[in-house]
Amino acid sequence: MKAKIILLLTGCVAMGMSAFGQVRFVPDDPYNKYSVGLNVGYTTMYGDLSQSNPSPAFTLSLSQHMNQSVVVGVELMHGTLSSTEPANKWTTGLASINQYNGLNVHANMSFNEFLHNPHNVVMKTISHLYVGTGVGIIDNDITKITDKFKTTDPATIDPDFKKSSLAMIVPLNLGLNIYMKSFFGYRGAQFNINYQLNYAFSDYVDGYKFSSATTTNKYNDAFSVLSIGFAIYIGHTDEYQ
């Protein structure tokens, strides 16, 4: 079912791209148009277990450039969240692997909203930095989880876990766009570096929810994605080709 949903959303993006017609890119005005991008990176889990294992993540995005500073978009996410607890007093070691899917809508604002007409490379680079936030949902599919515990101290062991759950998330983005006039013969593209911290309104992203006596994390889970990617501009019909 999840695979069908991903294929359906991907197909919708592809049909949307074809509906825009031929591509036109004006180098001195690379805004007020749409772009589609793909980012690849790794995740870090901030949950009930103390050690996070870097795992792959992929993001497919469709964005609308409202002006030179503001971009709104939608992201389809898929990745792995992996964490472990090497050793403690009440188990020989916990482990959790979450194959998650997610969808969020967000808005980013670049610093060129405040830095008008930068005149050197450093200021131009800073002007392309951006921050943003949004709202979304994550579908947690726990494919591996340790569910056996020692019974030497039952008063403090409170193993509560779920292998499947949904949660609302709030993504916080910090990134840099590097604009290119051409990319492999394609006119109009950008290279992207992005750090996204996702706060979940749930303590089950890693599958576990323990009492405060058995874990150092007494709060909801969070995870981050550090990624790089490319995006190409779409949406302007070239009437002269």
| Residue in 133, 224, 227 with CA at minimum distance from that of residue 176 | 227
| pLDDT on residue 199 | 97
**Residue at 206 is within a domain:** yes
**Residue at 239 is within a domain:** no
**Residue at 142 is within a domain:** yes
**Residue at 12 is within a domain:** no
**Residue at 21 is within a domain:** no
The mean pLDDT value for 130-150 works out to 89
Handedness of CA 109, 115, 118, 122 (dihedral sign): negative
One-letter amino acid identity for 55? S
Domain that holds residue 130: 45-234
Structure tokens at 146: 């340790």
**Residue at 62 is within a domain:** yes
Q: What is the pLDDT of residues 52-77, one digit of tens each?
A: 999 999 999 999 988 888 999 999 99
Band of the pLDDT at 231, cuts 50, 70, 90? very high
Q: Does the pLDDT at position 19 exceed 50?
A: no
Phi, psi of 4 (to 5 degrees): -65, -40
**Residue at 19 is within a domain:** no
Q: Is pLDDT larger for residue 63 or for residue 12?
A: 63
| pLDDT on residue 183 | 65
**Residue at 199 is within a domain:** yes
Q: What percent of the chain has pLDDT over 70?
A: 71
Number of independent structural domains in the chain? 1
| pLDDT on residue 210 | 75
